[in-house]
Amino acid sequence: MYQVTFNNNKTIEADVQEGHALIADKSFPFDIQKQADGGYSIITGDQKSYQLYLTELDLKGKTAKVSINNHHYDISVKEPIDLLLSKMGINMAAHRKAESIKAPMPGLILKIMVEEGQSIKKGDPVLILEAMKMENVFKAPADATVKLIRIQQGMAVEKGAVLIELE
């Protein structure tokens, strides 16, 4: 089970498997289809329809900003290992070291917001990558210094490519 928090004030336990979501110990069937505009159409078992757009994604921080039927949500997710470590009093985010920023998917570099040698703080915007017709803002995973920028604006990148090296 995952712990999902919406707008820093509502938390639910949830798990998703193909075609079913388990939320607060209740099972909900659903169908999801990717739309041409980059969004997703979700239809639940009781025929309710939702339009979902992912507007920002931070895979390392396990956070996202989404729009569901024109309502905007900040979402954070804790995986089972995060919950276990939290119960043990261990905060992995506090131990995160500066590292390289890699492309989680193929895309096009729209904007680079930092320069080599620049000091950045955790959460500072670093670059914008367009993927699947959506702009993804990458943020600094930790306080660091930009060591090397391996990309240029307008450059196409592949999944896993090192974009920016931090120290």
SS3 of residue 86 by DSSP: helix
The two counts, helices (H) then strands (E), for the chain are 2, 16
Residue 117 sits at the vertex; the CA angle it makes with 97 and 163, to the nearest 5 degrees, is 60
**Looking at domain 97-166, which of 3.40.640.10, 3.40.50.300, 3.30.43.10, 2.40.50.100 is its CATH number?**
2.40.50.100
Q: For residues 123 and 129, what is the distance between their CA atoms, to the nearest angstrom? A: 16
Q: Which residues contact 18 (CB under 8 A, 6 or more apart)?
A: none
- At 4-63, the pLDDT tens digits run 999 989 999 999 888 899 988 889 999 999 999 989 999 998 999 999 999 888 887 889
| pTM for the full predicted model | 0.54
- At 80-138, the pLDDT tens digits run 888 888 788 776 555 555 678 998 889 999 999 999 999 999 889 999 999 888 888 99
Domains of the chain, by residue range, sit at 2-82, 97-166
Q: For residues 18 and 43, what is the distance between their CA atoms, to the nearest angstrom? A: 13
